[in-house]
């Protein structure tokens, strides 16, 4: 089954057309990155309507859909709908704006628009299971990030600022072939490490402090995500203790990760380790999230996620302990879920590193 066939198998029977309008999902179905265009898919055929700026590239690269140059969008849509005898159109309710939807409804008033979350949910479910080609891109993205991490370890020393560390990581990932950064790199030091999503500042690293780095590279649209916390000089006994609790929580989750476990169960086995060690109040975020064409996608491993993990999902495992005013530790790998366990895509060392 190609991706369109799989998609229609997830939709209600009466759905005879879908409009795929979000950049990320258009890329998922066509393989081409663009900031405009619409995929119009019927059960037996799919089209990509895209404007002049992208038409040459689309004609050369898009194989899954017939490429049509955009002229007068609504009349082009209407003739495709007529040609394919379609009446019921599903739209991406999670991303289409209210004004876009009202324009479609007004200009194509003879048609019925399903504006429930059905289409967004179905695409989310498809994207949560990766095929081999997607896994290869994710692995390449991760190898870029890991090579950058190796290089940053030589760069971090007393007196270097958080911003310098972040910039060096970013530059190195781009130099190693990243098409973009997965998100704004987090590089924090000392007391700032207690803020899980802190922003790098001009603060200089001092001896005996943690440096926490959360970063990732994008390769062919696919993201990677990793976090390491390293110490400049020797950690004090409390820092070492907390680091090892987080490490144990992380390894425990890795040992439980497999197809069939609920996101909430995986979160719980890790959270329990931290709670039993007395730090339950200092782990205030979810254990993990899916990664793919977006940095945060399905599935989710949080206390609330009752969905089970499936073979082929890529999910992060990133417990942390954050003690306000003192320090924080997070250790993050990401894995592919398999039938009986998981395959860790992150190879960088995670025993405590003293630089
Ligand atoms: Mn993450």
Q: Render the burial of 258-290: b for 16+ CB within 10 Å, e for the rest.
A: bbebebbebbbbbbebbeebebeebbeebbbbb
22-68 pLDDT, tens digit per residue, is 999 999 999 999 999 999 999 999 999 999 999 999 999 999 999 99
The pLDDT, as a whole number, for residue 1 is 83
Backbone angles phi, psi at 342, to 5 degrees: -150, 160
The rounded distance, in Å, linking the Cα atoms of 106 and 100 is: 10
168-215 pLDDT, tens digit per residue, is 999 999 999 999 999 999 999 999 999 999 999 999 999 999 999 999
100-146 pLDDT, tens digit per residue, is 999 999 999 999 999 999 999 999 999 999 999 999 999 999 999 99
Shortest CA distance to 321 belongs to which of 257, 276, 353? 276
Q: What is the distance in A from the centroid of ligand 1 to the CA of 21?
A: 26
All CATH 3.90.230.10 domain ranges of the chain, comma separated, are 132-344
Q: What is the distance in A from the centroid of ligand 1 to the CA of 319?
A: 10
The rounded distance, in Å, linking the Cα atoms of 128 and 6 is: 13
Q: What is the distance in A from the centroid of ligand 1 to the CA of 329?
A: 14
305's tokens: 């996620």
All CATH 3.40.350.10 domain ranges of the chain, comma separated, are 3-127
- Sorting pLDDT into bands at 50, 70 and 90, what band is 89? very high
The pLDDT, as a whole number, for residue 144 is 98
Q: What is the distance in A from the centroid of ligand 1 to the CA of 237?
A: 27
Q: What is the distance in A from the centroid of ligand 1 to the CA of 251?
A: 16
Identify the helix (H) or strand (E) that includes residue 326. none
Q: What is the distance in A from the centroid of ligand 1 to the CA of 184?
A: 12
Q: What is the distance in A from the centroid of ligand 1 to the CA of 104?
A: 36
- Sorting pLDDT into bands at 50, 70 and 90, what band is 297? very high
302-316 pLDDT, tens digit per residue, is 999 999 999 999 999
Q: What is the distance in A from the centroid of ligand 1 to the CA of 355?
A: 24
Residue % of the chain over a pLDDT of 90 = 99
Does the pLDDT of residue 153 top 90, yes or no?
yes
Domain 3-127 belongs to what topology?
Creatine Amidinohydrolase; Chain A, domain 1 (3.40.350)
Computed over every residue of the chain, the mean pLDDT equals 97
- What average pLDDT does range 321-335 have in this prediction? 98
Q: What is the distance in A from the centroid of ligand 1 to the CA of 23?
A: 22
The pLDDT, as a whole number, for residue 264 is 98
Domain 132-344 belongs to what topology?
Creatine Amidinohydrolase (3.90.230)
Contacts of 308 (CB under 8 A, 6+ apart): 259, 260, 261, 262, 263
The rounded distance, in Å, linking the Cα atoms of 1 and 98 is: 33
**Residue 349, class by beta-carbon neighbours within 10 Å (0-12 exposed, 13-18 middle, 19+ buried)?**
exposed
- What average pLDDT does range 250-257 have in this prediction? 98
Q: What is the distance in A from the centroid of ligand 1 to the CA of 206?
A: 26
């Amino acid at each position: 089954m190609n991706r369109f066939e799989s998609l229609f198998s997830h939709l209600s029977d009466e759905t005879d057309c879908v409009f795929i309008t979000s950049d990320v999902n258009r890329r998922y179905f066509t393989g081409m990155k663009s900031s405009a265009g619409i995929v119009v898919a019927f059960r037996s055929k799919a089209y990509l309507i895209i404007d002049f700026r992208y038409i040459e590239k689309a004609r050369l690269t898009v194989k899954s859909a017939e490429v049509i140059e955009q002229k007068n969008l609504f009349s082009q849509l209407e003739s495709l709908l007529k040609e394919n005898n379609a009446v019921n159109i599903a739209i991406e309710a999670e991303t289409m704006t209210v004004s876009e939807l009202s324009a479609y409804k007004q200009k194509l008033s003879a048609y019925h628009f399903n504006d429930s979350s059905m289409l967004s949910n179905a695409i989310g479910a498809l994207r949560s299971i990766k095929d081999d080609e997607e896994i290869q891109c994710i692995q390449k993205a991760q190898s870029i990030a890991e090579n950058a991490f190796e290089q940053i370890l030589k760069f971090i020393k007393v007196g270097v600022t958080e911003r310098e560390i972040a910039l060096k990581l970013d530059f190195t990932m781009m130099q190693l072939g990243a098409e973009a950064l997965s998100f704004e790199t987090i590089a924090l030091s000392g007391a700032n490490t207690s803020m899980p999503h802190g922003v790098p500042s001009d603060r200089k690293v001092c001896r005996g402090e943690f440096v926490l780095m959360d970063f990732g590279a994008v390769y062919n649209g696919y993201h990677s995500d990793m976090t390491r916390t390293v110490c400049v000089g020797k950690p004090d006994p409390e820092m070492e203790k907390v680091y090892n609790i987080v490490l144990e929580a992380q390894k425990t989750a890795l040992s439980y990760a497999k197809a069939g476990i609920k996101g909430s169960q995986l979160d719980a086995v890790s959270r329990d380790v931290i709670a039993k060690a007395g730090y339950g109040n200092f782990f205030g975020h979810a254990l993990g999230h899916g990664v793919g064409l977006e940095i945060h996608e399905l599935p989710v491993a949080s206390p609330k996620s009752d969905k089970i993990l499936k073979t082929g999902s890529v999910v992060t495992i990133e417990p942390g302990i954050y003690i306000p005013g003192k320090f924080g530790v997070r250790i993050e790998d990401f894995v592919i879920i398999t039938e009986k366990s998981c395959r860790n895509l992150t190879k960088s060392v995670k025993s405590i590193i003293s630089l």
